[in-house]
Amino acid sequence: MKKAKDKSAKTRIHTDYTRTKTENKQIEQNPVESASGSNKSVLGPQKSVSIEWQAPEFEYREKDVSWYWMGLIIAICLLAFSVWQKNFLFAVFTVIAYLAVVYSAGQKPAVWKFTLNEKGVEIDPMKGKSIASRLYKYEEIAGFDIWEKELVLKTKKKISPYLKMIFPAEKEKEIKEFLVKHIPEEEYDASISDSFSKLIGF
């Protein structure tokens, strides 16, 4: 009976040894798969970091009746001056410019979607397929600045290099800390057109 117990114990040890050897062999054959499996269980799925918000295309300022009267008076003065100088081309330009300004003054901005991610800055007009979204990669952007509640991006284009985006005030710190990891911060110098637009209420 003692011999039977010894034989049974030897058989169990041999079986455990064979199973352990087989498992070690499988790990050696698939080390990457085993490691990735353990990493997945520990780390979990990796999520991409991004910042999203929606804001008007531009800041809209309500115009009262006096604003339109002032614009009409200026247009009449310019028109009278062009007729006095017999510059009819400038007279036509004055009329077209006045109509364009009045039309633009009544247009309210559309709501756009802005996204900052690891690839770049994406602008989505959210107007359907007629206007496609645009992704500005960080390689295309020279720098950024926060100027009067707007995010200003300086692209590497020679003509109209600046892009301005309105953003919620509570996201300022988050946006700044995210962008500084990808592009440098550069101070934006307000242009004459910025000052003039602010003066006339645009």
DSSP 181: T
- Parallel/antiparallel/unpaired status of strands 141-147 and 150-155: antiparallel
Q: What whole-number distance in Å separates Cα of residue 179 and Cα of residue 200?
A: 32
Average pLDDT per consecutive 10 residues, the chain (202 residues; last block may be shorter): 44 46 47 41 55 84 82 90 88 90 80 91 72 85 90 89 90 92 88 68 59
Give the number of residues written for the chain: 202
Cα 101 to its chain centre, rounded Å, is: 29
Q: Are 49 and 117 in contact (CB under 8 A)?
A: yes
Q: What whole-number distance in Å separates Cα of residue 46 and Cα of residue 121?
A: 21
Whole-model pTM?
0.59
DSSP 139: G
Give the CA distances from residue 163 to residues 25, 121, 153, in Å, rounded to whole numbers and listed in that order.
59, 11, 5
Q: What is the pLDDT of residue 103?
A: 83
Q: What is the pLDDT of residue 131?
A: 62
DSSP conformation letters of 16-44: HHHHHHHHHHHHHH-HHHHHHHHHHHHH-
Q: What is the pLDDT of residue 111?
A: 85
Q: In what order do the strands lie in the sheet with 150-155?
A: 141-147, 150-155, 162-166
Q: 88-105 vs 65-84: helix axis angle to the nearest 10?
A: 170
- Listed in sequence order, the residues at least 6 apart from 10 whose beta carbon sits closer than 8 Å to its beta carbon are none
